Structure 1
Amino acid sequence: MRLPYSETRRHPRLGELTTPVTVAVDGPSGSGKSTVSRTVALGFDLAYLDTGAMFRALTWAALEQGTDLTDVDAVAHLARTVEIDQSTDPARPGLAVAGTDITRAIRESRISSQVSAVATNLDVRGELARRQRELIADARRRGRGMVAEGRDITTVIAPDAEVRILLTADEEARLRRRQRQSGGSQVTDATRDEVLRRDRDDSTVSNFTTAADGVTHIDTSALDLQGSIDAVVSVLLERAGGSPRGDA
């Protein structure tokens, strides 16, 4: 999908972010959080972290090694020991496990259909949460900050983020978006499974449908991509914007 901004076209109000900022975005599948978060990160010169991709990377590693995903201890051990290299550059997001580029592989249906078994493993969530917090802290040390998106970023991973947003959308809108992403002409059973069943499974360990205190709720059901981006940008500038810098 072509993003509204590019590497050379930053958001015109970029200069209003004068200090490092963490933007935490949660939401169910198909709410628009990944594309919106990446676009906002690109527009405001922030790092970008897709935490769901990290769970997918671990799922890929487990399947490659023949690890039984129902063996919670074995998968947790793998989470603590596997080498995952995740790019936080919104212009070039990517993932590698032990040097193998799996950026495309983690989007395959075999990963989508099984990632919930990994994502609902509480020991795995604890270890990946540690890694995710380290990436967020590193982005702040580098001077700008990060947009991090997932299921429990606003409440567990970065509850102290300057900007916390919950993106939601009704079931029809979420299925329609995922169908368009897959290039299909109609919503398939596989799409329903990927979107609805995954959300049901993940909701057993994370609340990503109700905004916690201090979290701004944005319903994107009736919004197009640009409208969703504009809504998030508005909250970002309201919560973290300051006086424009001279180089803006």
Structure 2
Amino acid sequence: MEYEKYENLRETVLGRGLVVAIDGPSGSGKSTIARNVAAALDLGYLDTGAMYRAAAWWIDHQGLNADDSSTVERSVATMDLRVNAVPHAPRFFVEGIDVAHAIRTDHINEIVSAVSALPGVRKTLIEKQREIIKTARESTRGIVVEGRDITSVVAPEAEVRILLTADPETRLQRRAIADQGSAEGEALNRERALVIDRDAKDAKVTDFLEAGSGVTTIDSTNTNVSETLDAVMKLIDKTIN
């Protein structure tokens, strides 16, 4: 993607420690847009959802079950999780193991909601996320943070807060094509369980379906990546200037 048209905005945010927070459901495009915003403006990038996936991978790796909540919460609290916040090559290391690819499997998709719903797990990872954001702000580089309840719980003080959304069927088709290679038949049904059903479960413990006070909603249903990115960049420009 070409970022030259955002050069002036990049110069404007340079050294400001800008924090951009993007909430939204699965398939809304928040990861793609967040990575592109970070790359275009030379900001750090944090996928907070991947941190919950990393925790789920760790619990599964140890043979634990989310039903044993106290054991799981203690394990995640002491887990060594390190994040490489680079927009186009983010990496997540658990106890020194690179799990960037392992956390994207269907199996992790199926178990992550049960792990992320545990209050102790959420407390631990939100604290880690806030530490990463604080470090990025203090370094003056800044960061784009995306995931669930980012604008309301994790980074309510972010200068730019966005709820990126799209209608359910559009989101479902996007994820089916990305994950299954098709948006028809069994592939679509399989993705429905992984995306729509998971969103319903996650919505019980996180707030990512409606924009709170001071949060701007951007609907990507009828826009492509470039158009959605333009809308986000215009909002950032308007907010900080």
Q: TM-score, normalised by structure 1?
A: 0.92
Match of 1:81 among 70, 78, 97: 78
Find the counterpart in structure 1 of residue 49 from structure 2: 52
Find the counterpart in structure 2 of residue 207 from structure 1: 207
Give runs of aligned pairs for residues 13-92 of structure 1, distance below 5 A: 13=8, 14-18=10-14, 19-92=16-89
Match of 1:138 among 135, 138, 142: 135
CA shift digits 1:179-226 (9 cap, x unpaired): 121222524322001111110010001121110000000111111111
Number of residue pairs the alignment of both structures matches: 236
Give runs of aligned pairs for residues 94-243 of structure 1, distance below 5 A: 94-182=91-179, 183-186=181-184, 187-241=187-241
Match of 2:7 among 3, 12, 16: 12
Q: Could you tell me how far apart the structure 2 residues matched to 1:221 and 1:66 are?
A: 40
Query: Contact between 1:27 and 1:209, CA under 8 Å: does it hold in 2?
Result: yes
Look up the equivalent residue of 2:226 and give its one-letter code. Answer: Q
**DSSP-derived class of the 2:6 partner:** coil
Aligned in 2, Cα 1:185/1:217: closer, same or farther, shift over 3 Å?
A: closer
Where is the helix percentage greater, Structure 1 or Structure 2?
Answer: 2
Q: Could you tell me how far apart the structure 1 residues matched to 2:183 and 2:171 are?
A: 15
**DSSP-derived class of the 1:11 partner:** helix
Q: TM-score, normalised by structure 2?
A: 0.94
Query: Contact between 1:47 and 1:145, CA under 8 Å: does it hold in 2?
Result: yes
Q: Could you tell me how far apart the structure 1 residues matched to 2:68 and 2:83 are?
A: 25
* Cα drift, residue 5 of structure 1: 4.5
Query: Contact between 1:167 and 1:218, CA under 8 Å: does it hold in 2?
Result: yes
* Cα drift, residue 11 of structure 1: 3.1
CA shift digits 1:80-117 (9 cap, x unpaired): 10111111111321111111111111000000011000
* Cα drift, residue 10 of structure 1: 8.3
**DSSP-derived class of the 1:188 partner:** helix
- What RMSD, in angstroms, separates the aligned Cα atoms of the two structures? 1.4
Look up the equivalent residue of 2:236 and give its one-letter code. Answer: L
Q: Could you tell me how far apart the structure 2 residues matched to 1:225 and 1:128 are?
A: 29
Structure 2 unpaired stretches of 5+: none
**DSSP-derived class of the 2:145 partner:** strand
Q: Could you tell me how far apart the structure 2 residues matched to 1:173 and 1:93 are?
A: 26
Q: Could you tell me how far apart the structure 1 residues matched to 2:59 and 2:2 are?
A: 36
